[in-house]
């Protein structure tokens, strides 16, 4: 983390001054479920700096239900924390410390950024959460309560029967760090996709992100840069690892054959866009203020997070990129590397929670909402990433990008028509609701369209957990779904690779379609008068910003109470 606050009591002021640290989820959540390209008997806990804040005490139940085995470490001592709970009032992690069970007793302290081998018959490390305490924190058997600020790092190994998915965790800000981990563990998203890289399956993204309404499904195109052919076969795995029911209608593989000196992407409509000569912006303006262009120059996790402290009429934030326009070009291609924030996932969960015991009824009624109605509501709440260009002094919307999920960045392509632009530069504005997206890289390409060839592959086999071949269910958009109802359900899909030639590059995309429904047990009586307000324009965006401010105030009060004591 780049923040260097000297005391925990000045944390709030620090976040107000430093935009990178102010972002709840810019670094940690971008790697919440990072892939690990090692074999199935290895695992690795990767740690990166953390920035952010959120809280979800009620969801700790789901955290425990996920069968995570929590291990506390201090120096060379390690104990299991059973019945873990979070105290919102006291900012503490509590539970009962026990000796490690046999299958979780490692011969050495598990540390982030290292790989470890294990024997399946002797140990089970893939559901472990490792919490590293600062020196001096007592660690003894029995009941315990640990202040958040005594937590130094957290590393999480997520279970997967074929590979290890790694949840990276945090340093320095214990309170934020622990809460972020809980949010990541209890997130609601979509089916996870693993691609065979030649060294095992690695996490590659999420299917049909944001598609929670049956009648509002949209076809999605997930890039699979890690997919490699082996013996003329391409292998994917789709899993359900969250508390939801997932219905997949389509899982076709698109293969693009193109020149080696080009980068192939698909736009939101599935059209191929080739990039050859990307140019960086010459100027960046964040919410009306000139900013350095550093975050736009490389896909490195240093992103624009739409979280500046200014107040806007509709609670949106924007970034304007200015590019040079050579030779009065009439067309261009915009390249974005972006993802949704886990803050959006969290705040959407807080919205759903307000329905209380009525939530299941509400969710069932929403399944029949039309695509037009669903898209209209999302647009009114500024949930899409809106891309506009300036023509004759006016901003004109070019594209509104639907959700791509919060667990990994996705490369996106947008074609730009520059015919009515009279200047020798191109101005592009990217806008969204408060902390709804993270944009990691932006570039523009004026190169001419090049030749390419595409292949659309149906699954040859798709073997589910119960041994069924469901390839027929995944080969067309026909409303015949392959359903994954339980956490841990998975299907292994294999495609026959087209013949490949060494003079060309091959890019892979999973053309997918489906929807998912949440499994929740919310309590309480809904306040329908408050819920009706979310029909109004910008209501959800303001809700996001208000929730952020509420959490900041709450944290400040807790920190001030420490000072008084």
**What is the tens place of the pLDDT at every residue in 213-250?**
998 899 999 999 989 998 899 999 999 877 889 999 99
Please tell me the pTM assigned to this model: 0.74
pLDDT grade for 201, boundaries at 50, 70 and 90: confident
- DSSP result, 427-484: EEEEEEETT-EEEEEEEEE-PPP---EEEEE--SEEEETTS-B-GGGGBS-SS--EEE
pLDDT (0 to 100) of residue 549 = 82
Length of the chain: 565
Predicted confidence (pLDDT) at residue 114 exceeds the cutoff of 90:
no
pLDDT (0 to 100) of residue 137 = 79
Neighbours of 369 (CB within 10 A): 15
pLDDT (0 to 100) of residue 87 = 67
Higher pLDDT: 54 or 126? It is: 126
Higher pLDDT: 338 or 129? It is: 338
Higher pLDDT: 160 or 348? It is: 348
Q: Virtual CA dihedral for 379, 382, 384, 390, nearest 10 degrees? A: 90
pLDDT (0 to 100) of residue 294 = 74
**What is the tens place of the pLDDT at every residue in 357-386?**
999 999 888 888 898 999 999 999 999 999
pLDDT (0 to 100) of residue 236 = 96
Q: How far is CA 402 from the centre of its chain?
A: 14
pLDDT (0 to 100) of residue 394 = 94
**What is the tens place of the pLDDT at every residue in 242-290?**
788 999 999 999 999 999 999 999 999 999 999 999 999 999 999 888 8
**What is the tens place of the pLDDT at every residue in 406-459?**
878 999 999 999 998 988 999 999 999 999 999 999 999 999 888 999 999 999
Contact 366, 429 (CB under 8 A): no
Strand order in the sheet with 490-496: 201-206, 192-196, 233-239, 490-496, 461-464
Beta bridge partners of 244: 518
Give the residue extent of every domain in the chain: 8-186, 203-260+459-518, 277-446+527-545
Domain 277-446+527-545 has CATH 2.40.50.140: no
**What is the tens place of the pLDDT at every residue in 476-532?**
999 999 999 998 899 999 999 999 988 999 999 999 999 999 888 888 999 899 999
């Amino acid at each position: 983390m780049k923040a260097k606050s000297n005391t925990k009591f000045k944390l709030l002021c620090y976040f107000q001054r430093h935009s990178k640290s102010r972002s709840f989820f810019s670094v940690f959540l971008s790697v919440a479920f990072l892939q690990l390209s090692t074999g199935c008997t290895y695992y690795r806990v990767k740690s990166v700096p953390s920035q952010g804040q959120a809280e979800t005490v009620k969801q700790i139940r789901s955290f425990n239900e996920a069968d995570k085995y929590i291990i506390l470490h201090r120096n060379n001592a390690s104990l299991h924390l059973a019945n873990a709970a979070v105290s919102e009032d006291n900012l503490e992690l509590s539970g009962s410390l026990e000796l490690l069970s046999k299958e979780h007793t490692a011969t050495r302290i598990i540390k982030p950024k290292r790989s470890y081998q294990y024997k399946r018959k002797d140990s089970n490390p893939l559901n472990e959460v490792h919490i590293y305490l600062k020196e001096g924190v007592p660690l003894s058997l029995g009941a315990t309560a640990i202040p958040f600020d005594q937590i130094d790092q957290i590393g999480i190994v997520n279970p997967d029967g074929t590979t290890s998915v790694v949840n990276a965790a945090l340093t320095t800000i214990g309170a934020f760090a622990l809460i972020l981990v809980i949010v990541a563990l209890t997130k609601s998203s979509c089916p996870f996709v693993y691609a065979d890289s030649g060294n095992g399956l690695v996490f590659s993204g999420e299917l049909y992100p944001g598609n929670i309404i049956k009648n509002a499904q949209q076809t999605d195109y997930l890039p699979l840069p890690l997919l490699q052919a082996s013996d003329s076969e391409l292998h994917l795995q789709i899993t359900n690892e969250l508390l939801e029911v997932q219905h997949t209608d389509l899982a076709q593989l698109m293969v693009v054959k193109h020149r080696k000196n080009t980068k192939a992407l698909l736009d939101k409509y599935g059209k191929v866009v080739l990039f050859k000569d990307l140019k960086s912006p010459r100027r960046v303006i964040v919410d009306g203020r000139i900013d350095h262009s550093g975050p736009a120059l490389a896909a490195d996790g240093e992103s624009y997070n739409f979280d500046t402290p200014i107040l806007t009429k509709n609670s949106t934030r924007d970034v304007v990129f200015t590019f040079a326009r050579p030779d009065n070009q009439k067309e261009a291609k915009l390249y974005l590397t972006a993802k949704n924030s886990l803050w959006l996932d969290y705040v959407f969960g807080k919205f759903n929670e307000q329905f209380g015991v009525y939530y299941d009824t509400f969710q069932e009624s929403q399944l029949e909402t039309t695509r037009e109605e669903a898209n209209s509501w999302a647009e009114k709440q500024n949930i899409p990433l809106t891309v506009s260009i300036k023509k004759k002094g006016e901003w004109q919307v070019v594209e509104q990008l639907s959700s791509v999920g919060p667990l990994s960045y996705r490369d996106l392509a947008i074609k730009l028509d520059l015919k009515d632009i009279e200047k020798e530069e191109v101005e592009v504005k990217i806008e969204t609701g408060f902390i709804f997206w993270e944009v990691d890289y932006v570039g523009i390409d004026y190169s001419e369209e090049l030749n390419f060839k595409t292949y659309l592959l149906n699954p040859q086999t798709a073997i589910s957990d119960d041994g069924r071949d469901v390839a027929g269910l995944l080969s067309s958009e026909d409303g015949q779904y392959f359903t994954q109802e339980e956490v841990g359900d998975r299907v292994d899909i294999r495609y026959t690779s087209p013949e490949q030639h060494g003079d060309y590059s091959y890019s892979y995309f999973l053309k997918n379609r489906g929807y998912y429904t949440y499994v929740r047990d919310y309590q309480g009586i809904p306040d329908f008068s408050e819920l009706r307000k979310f029909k109004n324009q910008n209501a959800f965006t303001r809700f996001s910003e208000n929730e952020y401010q509420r959490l900041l105030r709450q944290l400040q009060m807790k920190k001030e109470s420490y000072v008084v004591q």
